[in-house]
Amino acid sequence: MAQDKCNRIKCRLYCRDIRSLSLPSPIIIFRSTSTSSITAQQQQQQPPPPGAMAENFCPDCKKSTEVVFDHSAGDTVCLECGLVLEAHSVDETSEWRTFANESGDNDPNRVGGPSNPLLTDGGLSTVISKPTGAHGDSSLGRWQNRGNSTDRSLIIAFRTIATMADRLGLVATIKDRANEIYKKVEDLKSIRGRNQDAILAACLYIACRQEDKPRTVKEICSVANGATKKEIGRAKEYIVKQLEGEMGQSMDMGTIHAADFLRRFCSHLGMTNQAVKAAQEAVQKSEELDIRRSPISIAAAVIYIITQLSDDKKPLKDISLATGVAEGTIRNSYKDLYPYVSKIIPASYAKEEDLRNLCSP
């Protein structure tokens, strides 16, 4: 009884503070542990909308008092004494929330999966699943499979692209761009008889380039379901040629820089933050030089130089495995960068004496 009285006093004080502040939708924290008798009419009464106060009969106050509805807990509380008149009530009013992707869309519908504009029916068609029981009737599923579905091949291709992108840790924008590229190529009806895995991998490679998140062909090849680097390269050239012929202009593939691969390669090698920063600065300065090597080869050579100047030296074999660049290519790129090490290596990372101690190519 003493605890119950204490709770009532606290609720009464809190309700008094609420009235003084004139809050639009107050929340009652303290509740009475005793359960007073509530009539059936009070239990069936709908709770007021958010921010509104209604009148109800309070058995403790012995009169009709203002009540407030706590939407987080579903409680109807007397504003005079703080007694919980109804607990855990269900709000059956409409929940006018929008679950749309765009902020300008006020449609409160929240039923069904997301639509896909690349599919004929928007991706909202009905799919009849196979029965799980031994004696289940799968005739409906067989008839559906016999029907002509123009989007069936697209759905399978989109799933394959999503699987490859997930394995590489790519964002959703790259997946969507790869789907768009494949849809354009598929509409041209020119990829029949070609290696489907190579085509899908090439679409993902082009999407990474266009979204300024490039990946090497070797990285794409590692998730391409058996397609080789040569097949992916040929498929990429074929897709670009077809789309350029359709558009009547050159296709924007984006520009590859060595810095786009550097941080990922350094992470694979477990390099320190200081070494990564020095490598990034060296790569940026190397772009000012006339070194005719691929950006991936330059990134690998810079990593080799930085690791040789640090206490944690990395063997050439490990750098080759992390970057996907052959050891001979790294040596040749190192040979081209060696005359400029004093210009590209930050002075805060290595002294002149350390640079002179680098092994000559």
- Per-residue pLDDT reduced to its tens digit, 58-100: 888 888 888 888 877 788 888 888 888 888 777 666 655 555 5
Between the CA of residue 140 and those of 123, 134, 147, 211, what are the distances in Å? 20, 16, 11, 42
User: Does the pLDDT of residue 340 top 70, yes or no?
Assistant: yes
Cβ atoms of 166 and 127 closer than 8 Å: no
Tens digit of pLDDT for each residue in 188-244?
887 887 889 999 999 999 999 999 889 998 899 989 888 899 999 999 999 999 888
pLDDT classification of 173: cutoffs 50, 70, 90? very high
- Give the pLDDT confidence score for residue 112 in this predicted structure: 56
277, two tokens: 């920063």
User: Does the pLDDT of residue 29 top 50, yes or no?
Assistant: no
Q: Which residues on neighbouring strands pair with residue 104, listed in sequence order?
A: none
Q: Which residues on neighbouring strands pair with residue 86, listed in sequence order?
A: 76
Identify the CATH number of the domain defined by range 152-247. Answer: 1.10.472.10
pLDDT classification of 44: cutoffs 50, 70, 90? very low
Q: What is the assigned CATH class of domain 259-356? A: mainly alpha
- Give the pLDDT confidence score for residue 26 in this predicted structure: 42
Q: What is the mean pLDDT of residues 23-29?
A: 42
What share of the chain in percent tops pLDDT 90? 25
222, two tokens: 């590692």
- Alpha-carbon distance of 76 to 53, in angstroms, equals 10
Instruction: Give, as one character, the DSSP assignment of residue 355.
Output: H
- Give the pLDDT confidence score for residue 111 in this predicted structure: 56
- Give the pLDDT confidence score for residue 40 in this predicted structure: 39
Q: What is the mean pLDDT of residues 128-133?
A: 65
Tens digit of pLDDT for each residue in 92-124?
666 555 555 555 555 555 555 566 767 766 666
Residues of the chain with CATH 1.10.472.10: 152-247, 259-356
Gap between the terminal Cα atoms of the chain: 89
User: Does the pLDDT of residue 13 top 80, yes or no?
Assistant: no
Cβ atoms of 281 and 260 closer than 8 Å: no
Tens digit of pLDDT for each residue in 246-296?
877 788 787 888 888 898 999 989 999 999 999 999 999 888 888 888 989
- Give the pLDDT confidence score for residue 21 in this predicted structure: 46
Cβ atoms of 317 and 300 closer than 8 Å: no
